[in-house]
Chain A
Amino acid sequence: MSRLLATALSLRRDPRVQKLPPYLSFLCVLVGLVWLLLLPLDDYARKTYISENALLPGQVHTYFSGSESHVLRAYRSELDVLASEEDPTRVNDKIEEILKGLGVKVGRQSYTYNAAGRAHSGENVYGILQAPRGDATEAIVLVAAIRSLNGQVNRNGVALALTLARYFKRWSLWSKDIIMVFPPDSETGTQAWVDAYHDAHDPRYVAPLPLKSGALQGALALDYPEVDRFSALQIIYDGVNGQLPNLDLVNSVGNIASGQMGITGFIQGMRHHKGTYKHRLTTIFRGMVKQSLGNSWGPHSSFMPYHVDAVTLQPYGKGFHDEMAMGRVIEGSFRSLNNLLEHLHQSFFFYLLMQRDRFVSIGTYLPSVMLLAANFSIMAIYLWVQSGQVDADAQKKAGKQPKASATEIAAVTVERSLVLPVAIVAVCHALSAVPLYVLNNTTAQLLPTAFAALAAMSTAAPFVLSYAVLPVYKPTQQQILLMKSLSLLLLGMALSTLATLNFSLAFVIGVLTAPLSFVGLSRNEPLRWASATLLTLLAPATVIYSVVAGVGLDMGHLLEQASFGWTVWGMYTPIVVWTIWWPAWTISMVSVLC
């Protein structure tokens, strides 16, 4: 033991060890990236399974068929007449009339959101089918937005929900209330409804709910505008800010659809998934992109922040399954949810799906982003140690003594002057409030211009800082090192924390900022300018512009979505970009230029 200790103690004074961190850090980045690429392999991914025994998906016989289709057609015809009209309250009146006729209690709620200078208003109508023998302690939700995700009228979805309400009313086995929500669109309506259900709404914009039931146990949303027969069922499960529903819910619905009804279930738009490595990786990446953007991907997304597990079901393609089959999928899923004795908690909340029935759990994928984040922490410690050492040249002159005593080691470390570095880091982080404020308080028309101005300013900022502002304070080399060390430390900390909330966002930011660790290590002039160029290419503004150009998005639309997302859904992606990524980038740039 003592020998081991001695080795360890002598090791830390070894100059070779002190050169190690950058390589270690690079290794972390490399392993982190490769790690993710290994996930689709069979050895790392698992088949999905139902963890909650109470769910018993597909074990009940479903009876929704026969004459119910006649009713469905009638409801659809009713809707067709009204949906084409301008006044949306007519549709809500009709839905209310139908639901009341069934003996279902009906409530309405109006709301107005103001985002990016535009008002998004609407009125939710919802019915509570009280569990015949229940006591209003628990409820499950069926959402059918009047306008589906692509803006069409959700013809089959709404009609199916109404028919199911009539059909469910006849059963006495419900242990939970069933709430049918009909929001006017797929983006804002459910958010307003869920907020108000939990009394977390802003009463200035969102009205309270006149009727309520118990704790929500799960929700299914129906996005079914096409009337033709369909071939497959897409399960959309991504929530706001990359939150995911319990894996049991996704699996149950998938099991019922494919196992019981013979409808192929698929995810992330991968209709023809062959189970190959490439397809799996594509699915993972699509999921990660959606997660890292963090906006709402369907009416179900808004439920997730309240710990209500939800998925959207979207029939796809042309095939031989009709709307009654879809109804039976919902009936089966509701019967499963109805069986629940406890809130869904057994299975995973953090996972990456690579196929409908294959996933990696958090324990397997989290190391990749943690390694990325560790790279920053290692570099931060390295820079900190370096900043405390006397210049290498000075050390050589003094003549190195191989067996320096403990007190002598202490003597060669120099005092660190922290005021300036801390001030710079603090100012840079504080400045991030400016783009956030501007982008969330500008009308949609001005957003692209505002963003262009911000991009220009953010590109200029490091130059201004390093050539105009900093020379006034005459920073020493040590202070520059300290500044970068502190910035990297913050970045590492922020990313590792973020990784537990939104893995994909942390990963994307981690990859984009990984070069920040390694630039500016050398004082070589051409290398410095090369680093500066690389950094400019990896600047937040440059990346956003190039992604928008690459994918063919409209910049104004993207910015409006970001502003809308923040106001309505509480989407924090812009905050991460501007308060974590941007300051880290700015400081790195300054350290390279100085």
Chain B
Amino acid sequence: MQSLFAWLLLLATAVAASDYHEQLTLRPLPLSSLLASFDFRSNTSFSDYESQNFRLFPRSLAQILQHAGTRELHLRFTLGRWDAENWGARPWDGTKEGGTGVEMWALVDAGSDEEADQKWLTLTNTLSGLFCASLNFIDETRTIRPVKSFQPEGHHTEAALAHSRLLHGVLPHEVVCTENLTPFLKMLPCKGKAGIASLLDGHKLFDASFQSMAIDVRPICAEGQECVLEIEETIDMVLDINRSKRPKGNPIPRPVKADELVCDQSKPYHSEDTCFPVDHLASPDWQLDQVFGRPMKGTCPLADATVPSVCIQVPDKRHVFTSEGSVQHKGADGQSRCYTMDENNDFTLFLARPDNPGEGLEVVEPETPLLYAERSLTGYGQEKGGVQAILTNPGNEDVEFVYLESLPWFMRIYLHTLATHISPNTTTAVDFSTPSSDIIKEIYYRPALDRVRGTQLELLLKIPAKHTVFLTYDVEKTILRYTEYPPDANRGFDVAASVITTLSPRVMNLRTTSLLLYLPTPDFSMPYNVIIFTSTAIALAFGGLYNIIVRRFVGADEGEQSPLKAKLAKLKEMIAAKLGKKSAAPEEKTAVEAL
């Protein structure tokens, strides 16, 4: 306990003293997964920032921010999905992750919306180059101005806030890959050469079941000190231990040899060639350099040495072995320990298999999240569809949150169909009697304009404890102009994840998975084009010929007048006669004038 206190004290002074620190937190999860959270934080004083005197803050990014007048920047690259059911609450309370693809939001210094748009455009385009991502595709149709869900996180003066705009954009289809990791590592003071960043290998990172890279830049003002601009880079990844342990040279999961199969020998039919496998339940052992594919190369010399670089959250009962020269600090809760290590030596860590597998307490019990959210498309066909979001509150407290949907313009939402149903978690029966107004407290809706902007829908909802809310609405699928279809039109169009920000009992973030929306797609293939062209040609030719053959051609004066025409003419005459009386006088007048 005393050591922890001392350690905390050290930490507190260290934050003030040093401008850079990094930490890796490892947390084994149920079902043989491992969560690795990398956190790199550095800051620079505003005076240094303004005078372009950069030491730990990446110059490339800083200059972009200055050029685009950005006060605060949040950038997320996410791949895969967080399995809340097995893994529990999200790391960092979900504040450091985005929806699938790329998501960014920024507070730009602008007096008007036009100016904000201009700066946002500059920002996305320059960042696009820096991060090798298609951020430049975040155009105005994908940009929203959040009202309730996203708020500035840093410390800003009232005047600055009044003179700035928060914009949010998302690219759900962007595939995050190695080319995004490289620029990310380049921005670290030690690059990927030393410290915990040396563990980051593209092969392992992008083979993870879930991974999220985040960059947050925000001003922090401590009382009595000069304000600093803080940049925090985080990477969260969930590795499947069995998968990561496979050697690089032989990554194919071939069936194991028959004698290596772990069998349930109590089965009556168990024999030499029949085996009921039990392998997947146990929490396996692993070694740091094995699961990350490379050892950790010492610590970053620029980092604050007092902050332990590596922490692991496992129950104290589990055995952890580390390489020589490292010092262990145990946490007070009996569920975590941290390691400081030698600057120059490689570091590795080995977590042994639990002594008595199957007894529980193999991993730290995951915390139940405040809310489970799931969203899916309903309906079928190419004209109409619907969206259903299932929001479950598993806890004993009411949860109040903002639900944000940023939908593309070609997905036209029928707001009048927005409905909620509530049911207790224990049953599947839906209670239709509770009116929507009891659940949805507020609605902020900014309708889409075709080809100009997307829909922004923010709902303030409240779910009672142990209840599930079904939120549904209908949408119409728009037919696009044929040049607007992407080359892979039949793949469908990605719809960004909806963002949930809880307000009470505490603030945390949560995102659903993205959706794939099929739009009516014309058949772009050659035979159908040929059919369409030839049909048109034949119709034109046939129409003309048919007309000539079946029509009777007579002189205009020869033919008998059609009865309808005659009646029309009569009616005309009548009206003319009636109007004639009235208009006779002015007509005369004009006649006189003309003379």
Contacts and interface: CB of A to CB of B under 8 A. Distances in A.
A199 B388 contact: yes
Given A66-B254, A343-B518, A135 B81 contact: yes
A484 B41 CA distance: 87
Contacts of B65: none
A18 interface: no
A77 interface: yes
Given A136-B513, A199-B378, A346-B525, A70 B261 contact: yes
A74 B207 CA distance: 31
Interface in B227-272: 240, 242-243, 252-258, 260-261, 263, 267, 269-270
A63 B254 contact: yes
Contacts of B490: 342-343, 345
A101 interface: yes
Contacts, number: 146
A138 B253 CA distance: 23
Contacts of B100: 135
Q: How large is the interface on A (under 10, 10 to 19, 20 to 34, 35 or more residues)?
A: 35 or more
A363 B534 CA distance: 13
Interface stretch (A126-134, A226-234, A495-503, A577-585): A126-134
Contacts of A47: none
Interface stretch (B273-281, B308-316, B563-571): B273-281
B80 A133 contact: yes
Given A67-B261, A133-B206, A214-B516, A341 B488 contact: yes
Contacts of B494: 137
A215 B257 contact: no
A66 B257 contact: yes
B552 interface: yes
B379 interface: yes
Most chain A Cβ neighbours within 10 Å, of B207, B243, B257, B491: B491
Contacts of A130: 81, 83
Contact of B380 (A132, A135, A306, A341): A306
Nearest to A344: B490
A190 B494 CA distance: 27
Contact of A215 (B240, B263, B377, B489): B377
A5 B379 CA distance: 55
Given A12-B549, A73-B274, A101 B527 contact: no
Contact of A74 (B275, B527, B554): B275
Interface string B460-502: 0000000000000000000000000000111110100000000
Nearest to B86: A103
A200 interface: yes
B514 interface: yes
Nearest to A137: B516
A217 to B, nearest CB: 10
Nearest to B259: A67
A172 B549 contact: no
Nearest to A198: B380
Contacts of A132: 80, 207, 209, 240, 243
A307 B379 CA distance: 12
Contacts of A572: none
B442 to A, nearest CB: 28
Given A71-B275, A171-B253, A200-B379, A342 B549 contact: no
Given A8-B549, A166-B277, A214-B515, A199 B255 contact: no
B380 A103 contact: no
B488 A73 contact: no
A358 interface: no
B548 interface: yes
Contacts of A345: 490, 521, 523
Interface in A132-155: 132-138
B68 interface: no
A215 B518 contact: yes
A212 interface: yes
Contacts of A199: 378-379, 386, 388
Contacts of A134: 80-81
A166 B552 CA distance: 77
Nearest to B30: A103
Given A137-B514, A345-B523, 4 more contacts: A8-B549, A67-B275, A199-B388, A207-B428
24 contacts: A8-B548, A63-B252, A63-B254, A66-B254, A67-B256, A67-B260, A68-B255, A69-B273, A71-B261, A71-B277, A74-B276, A101-B278, A132-B243, A133-B79, A133-B207, A137-B513, A137-B516, A170-B253, A208-B428, A306-B380, A307-B380, A341-B488, A345-B523, A363-B531
A138 B280 contact: no
Nearest to B269: A77
A102 interface: yes
Nearest to A11: B549
B243 A170 contact: yes
Contacts of A73: 269, 273-275
Contact of B258 (A63, A67, A138): A67
A5 B553 CA distance: 11
A315 B82 CA distance: 39
Contacts of A74: 263, 267, 269-270, 274-277
Contact of A172 (B243, B374, B516): B243
Interface string B529-548: 00100000000000000001
B504 interface: no
Nearest to A170: B253
Contact of A70 (B207, B240, B243, B274): B274
B372 to A, nearest CB: 12
A166 B513 CA distance: 24
Contacts of B296: none
Which are the 5 A-B pairs with shortest beta-carbon distances? Answer: A199-B378, A170-B253, A342-B490, A137-B516, A74-B276
A271 interface: no
